[in-house]
Amino acid sequence: MPVSNSLKDFKSPATIRERDPRHVLQEVYGYPAFRGRQEEVVRHVVRGGDALVLFPTGAGKSICYQIPALCRDGLAIVISPLISLMRDQVAALRALGVDAVAINSAMTPDEMRSTRQDLGNGKIKLLYVTPERVVTEGFRSTIGWQKVSLIAIDEAHCVSSWGHDFRPEYRGLASLPEMFPGVPRLALTATADEHTREDILRVLRLDQASVFITSFDRPNISYTIAEREKPKQQLLDFLKRHEGDSGIVYCLSRRKVDETAEMLNDEGIRALPYHAGMAPEEKNSNQDAFLNEEGLCLVATVAFGMGVDKPNVRYVAHTDIPGSVEAYYQETGRAGRDGLPSAAFMMYGMADVVQRRRMIDEGNSPDEIKRVERSKLNALLAICETAGCRRSALLGHFGEKHPGKCGNCDTCREPVDSWNATDAAIVALAAAYRTSERFGTGHLIDVITGKPSDRVKRFRHDELKVFGQGRGHSPGTWQSVFRQLLSLGYIYVDHDAFGAIKLEADAAAVFKRDRTLMFRRDRPHRTSKAARLRNPARDGLDPAAHETFERLRKLRLEIAREAGLAPYMVFNDATLVAMATTIPRDMSEMASIPGLGTVKLQKYGEQFLEALRDIF
């Protein structure tokens, strides 16, 4: 729904270099066609319009400003919040033969001098800088007389205090229109909620900008959410399906990160930890290993992730429930940027829901924000407990309609039963009520299932009418009943009372049988032999192509090591899959593989052809 720009914003045609965006896409990137709304954005910016681009991760936002930068005269300024992000983008562009540089505080004086020189020579097409630097006087003098072709503001949601990535220095970007009058600006982000969008437009003064938004669905990601039963076994079963792949395992605490990484290594899965409690050198070296190696599992807290652009992250696992649907979607969204099949797997249970609640309640946010955080957690819990399509529920949370039956989530692949849990819910609520709302689920379940524990006897809860009334269901089922009551807002966990379950006003309606509660029936975890062999990214490949893919992957790693690049900067997995399935015979056939622009064809084409000839 682009809003039309006022005419004054468009540059006269004489100032536009005659470079066709489609031609640049093929020649530089080796891609035959634009995706989704990329071309609209590119043409709009090439013409000199402002834009706000809201595409999900992996949709290809970089091209939206890089191609206009190559088509327009002058130097493009790209504002990026993290030095690691800049470094990767610059390296990837250089691998394509594009003159790009970054200026940041991590550079030595020598590097700074030579970068200034390159800038002075007018050779550079893209310059990456941090938001704090771009607004300084010094910056103007660094770029000197050069004409600025456009300004791209990446990760633009950082201007909004509403989101979780707020960076105050982004606020300073409000002065860009005065500093660079008439220069087209585009803001890009993968965060789409209404609040953030309004903040970006307002704070960055993009009132003339066209807004380009696409569906936030990530069809190549499969979603699986499971109750935590045998956490170690469940995680291992999931990871065994991903042997040889790179992925991230998120844990709630630093301690759990360390323990999980150790456990995985013991089990023969190469894993490295990452959390804010580690020394910076170790953190950086683990992050670099993750970017540069293949088949590595990074076990991390949420401290890891932003600015990690690795396109072939094949899985993201959560050992605990994240804090909100937003966080879950952002974290799982780090899988499958390259568009190939990838998996998201989450385990959750009452314990981590309770811990999350405690983190919110004990945090120092104002009450109003705490209320929002609680409701965001509940919204995620409701998605965990749904018997319907996960994708549809996730997108629904962001206001996007999806018909359901996606076929690529656990509930669609294997529909879950629901059962009439009204009677059970009444027993569960009664147990909390009759024990004066002073106990957590563990004790309540002992009471319900008639387990005469010391505590039960001490409080004489074995004399209550509800004692043993729920023997017909397993303790696991009762856990599930409490979780679903929590997600529906009939009960809450009171942290001031040490995690006691208390009733919400709505519980009265359940007692009175005004409501029928249909609950999801938990599915017990089982390790299937067939599942062990399946790997989503390579499912589509026959065994021969799979082997070819692995051989090409080895070659890619050797080349990357020698060049000091991350493997994906040589070629991404999608390019290797295309090579392994079409088997190009000569350079002209090689040129038609997506991902081989002029420079990469020249640099690596022969080597890969040779490798293919060796195989066939």
Q: Which residues contact ligand ADP by CB under 6 A?
A: 31, 34-35, 38, 55, 57-63, 309, 311, 337-338, 572, 594
Q: Which residue, 154 or 446, is less far from ligand ADP as judged by CB?
A: 154
Q: Which residue, 212 or 329, is less far from Zn ion as judged by CB?
A: 329
Q: Which residue, 81 or 311, is less far from ligand ADP as judged by CB?
A: 311
State which of residues 100, 409, 481, 507 lies at the interface with Zn ion (CB under 5 A).
Answer: 409
Structure tokens at 406: 């996606």
Please identify, among the stretches 38-46, 172-180, 389-397, 510-518, the one whose residues bind Zn ion according to the rule CB under 5 A.
389-397
Residue 535's binding partner out of Zn ion, ligand ADP, none, with CB under 5 to 8 Å set by partner kind: none
- Shortest spacing between CB 33 and ligand ADP, in angstroms: 6
Amino acid in the structure at residue 518:
M
Structure tokens at 563: 């060049």
How far apart are alpha carbons 86 and 102 in whole angstroms?
7
Q: Which residue, 287 or 408, is less far from Zn ion as judged by CB?
A: 408
How far apart are alpha carbons 198 and 159 in whole angstroms?
11
- Shortest spacing between CB 563 and ligand ADP, in angstroms: 18
Residue 314's binding partner out of Zn ion, ligand ADP, none, with CB under 5 to 8 Å set by partner kind: none
Residue 391's binding partner out of ligand ADP, Zn ion, none, with CB under 5 to 8 Å set by partner kind: Zn ion
Q: Write the burial class of residue 398 (CB in 10 Å: 0-12 exposed, 13-18 middle, 19+ buried).
A: middle
Amino acid in the structure at residue 159:
V
Q: Which residue, 67 or 129, is less far from ligand ADP as judged by CB?
A: 67
SS (H, E, C) 170-219: HHHHHHHHHHCCCCCEEEEECCCCHHHHHHHHHHCCCCCCEEEECCCCCC
Check the CA dihedral 77-81-87-93 and report its sign: negative
Please enumerate in sequence order all residues whose Cβ is within 8 A of that of 5, keeping only pairs 6 or more positions apart, or say none: 44, 49, 50, 208, 209, 210
Residue 61's binding partner out of Zn ion, ligand ADP, none, with CB under 5 to 8 Å set by partner kind: ligand ADP
Give residue number: closest CB to ligand ADP: 60
Q: Which residue, 320 or 326, is less far from ligand ADP as judged by CB?
A: 326
Q: Which residue, 86 or 421, is less far from ligand ADP as judged by CB?
A: 86
Q: Which residue, 101 or 569, is less far from ligand ADP as judged by CB?
A: 569
Q: Which residue, 90 or 394, is less far from Zn ion as judged by CB?
A: 394
Residue 72's binding partner out of Zn ion, ligand ADP, none, with CB under 5 to 8 Å set by partner kind: none
How far apart are alpha carbons 588 and 594 in whole angstroms?
12
Q: Which residue, 62 or 392, is less far from Zn ion as judged by CB?
A: 392
- Shortest spacing between CB 228 and ligand ADP, in angstroms: 31
CA distances to 229, 231, 480 from 258, rounded to whole Å, are 21, 16, 29
Q: Applying CB under 5 A, what is the total number of residues that bind Zn ion? A: 5
Query: Please, are residues 197 and 241 in contact by the beta-carbon 8 Å criterion?
Result: no
- Shortest spacing between CB 586 and ligand ADP, in angstroms: 23
State which of residues 42, 389, 430, 456 lies at the interface with Zn ion (CB under 5 A).
Answer: 389
Question: Among candidates 311, 285, 296, 306, which has minimal Cα distance to 248?
Answer: 296
Residue 409's binding partner out of ligand ADP, Zn ion, none, with CB under 5 to 8 Å set by partner kind: Zn ion
- Shortest spacing between CB 35 and Zn ion, in angstroms: 23
- Shortest spacing between CB 339 and ligand ADP, in angstroms: 6
Q: Which residue, 230 or 534, is less far from Zn ion as judged by CB?
A: 534
Q: Which residue, 34 or 478, is less far from ligand ADP as judged by CB?
A: 34
Q: Write the burial class of residue 144 (CB in 10 Å: 0-12 exposed, 13-18 middle, 19+ buried).
A: exposed
What's the farthest any 2 CA atoms get from each other in the chain? Answer: 90
Q: Helices 598-615 and 543-563 meet at what angle, rounded to 10?
A: 130
Residue 376's binding partner out of ligand ADP, Zn ion, none, with CB under 5 to 8 Å set by partner kind: none
Question: Among candidates 167, 187, 481, which has minimal Cα distance to 306?
Answer: 167
Tell me, what DSSP letter sits at residue 156?
G
How far apart are alpha carbons 534 and 135 in whole angstroms?
51
How far apart are alpha carbons 36 and 316 in whole angstroms?
25
Q: Backbone phi, then psi, for 505, in 5-degree steps? A: -55, -35
Residue 331's binding partner out of ligand ADP, Zn ion, none, with CB under 5 to 8 Å set by partner kind: none
Residue 28's binding partner out of Zn ion, ligand ADP, none, with CB under 5 to 8 Å set by partner kind: none
Residue 55's binding partner out of Zn ion, ligand ADP, none, with CB under 5 to 8 Å set by partner kind: ligand ADP
DSSP states of 1-35: -PPPPPGGGSPPGGGB----HHHHIIIII--SS--
Residue 477's binding partner out of Zn ion, ligand ADP, none, with CB under 5 to 8 Å set by partner kind: none
Residue 309's binding partner out of ligand ADP, Zn ion, none, with CB under 5 to 8 Å set by partner kind: ligand ADP
Please identify, among the stretches 52-60, 250-258, 272-280, 405-413, the one whose residues bind Zn ion according to the rule CB under 5 A.
405-413
384 binds Zn ion (CB under 5 A): no
412 binds Zn ion (CB under 5 A): yes
- Shortest spacing between CB 575 and ligand ADP, in angstroms: 9
DSSP states of 417-471: PEEE-HHHHHHHHHHHHHTTT---HHHHHHHHTT---HHHHHTTGGGSTTTTTTT
- Shortest spacing between CB 79 and ligand ADP, in angstroms: 14
- Shortest spacing between CB 527 and Zn ion, in angstroms: 23
Q: Which residue, 296 or 406, is less far from Zn ion as judged by CB?
A: 406
What's the distance, CA 41 to chain centroid? 23
Residue 35's binding partner out of Zn ion, ligand ADP, none, with CB under 5 to 8 Å set by partner kind: ligand ADP
Give the number of C-alpha atoms closer than 13 A to the C-alpha of residue 288, restricted to the C-beta side.
Answer: 10
Beta-bridge mates of residue 102: 128
Contacts with Zn ion, residue ranges (CB under 5 A): 389, 391, 406, 409, 412
